[in-house]
């Protein structure tokens, strides 16, 4: 699976302004729900926050992958968001986060969920991928950076 199969230009947002982890997840839920009428913003926010409370999703090196399984979701949905200012995200290296890849998967897709998380981590571990993501100055260039250099 490649990032292009789960990400769309309408769910790619460059340099969004948020002040906290909670606001970042709230904004992500808003942006994702506005691009997919099958998802309800408050339910998505609740699922993402509940998952975050179990274990923070900050990977380190400025990256977080908030994710959840969602009742009523029938396909894997990804959203790539960069922030204009890094925020505290309880990352494993205690560094602030400036890049979020939000992942929503169907409720019963446990194996696929783990496979997609693994693919995302592998991509974000590549310095060339990270550099292109961070260099993007608008949502279109961010989308192209994500899908052109992904595994």
Active site residues: 67
Helix, coil or strand: residue 37? coil
Contacts of 97 (CB under 8 A, 6+ apart): 21, 24, 58, 62, 63, 64, 83, 86, 87, 88, 89, 91
* DSSP code per residue over 113-138: HHHHHHHHHHHHHSHHHHHHHHH--S
Q: Which two tokens stand for residue 125?
A: 């571990």
């Amino acid at each position: 699976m490649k990032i292009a199969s789960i990400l769309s230009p309408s769910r790619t947002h460059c340099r969004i302004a948020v002040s906290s982890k909670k606001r970042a997840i709230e904004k992500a839920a808003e942006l994702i729900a506005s691009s997919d009428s099958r998802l309800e913003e408050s339910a998505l926010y609740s699922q993402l926050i509940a998952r975050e409370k179990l274990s923070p999703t900050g990977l380190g090196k400025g990256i977080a992958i908030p994710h959840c399984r969602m009742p009523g979701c029938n396909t894997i949905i990804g959203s790539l968001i960069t922030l204009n200012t890094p925020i505290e995200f309880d990352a494993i290296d205690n560094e602030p986060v400036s890049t979020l890849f939000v992942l929503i998967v169907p409720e019963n897709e446990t194996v696929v969920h783990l496979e997609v998380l693994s693919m995302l981590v592998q991509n974000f571990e590549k310095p060339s991928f990270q550099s292109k993501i961070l260099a993007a100055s608008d949502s279109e260039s961010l989308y192209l950076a994500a899908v052109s250099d992904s595994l």
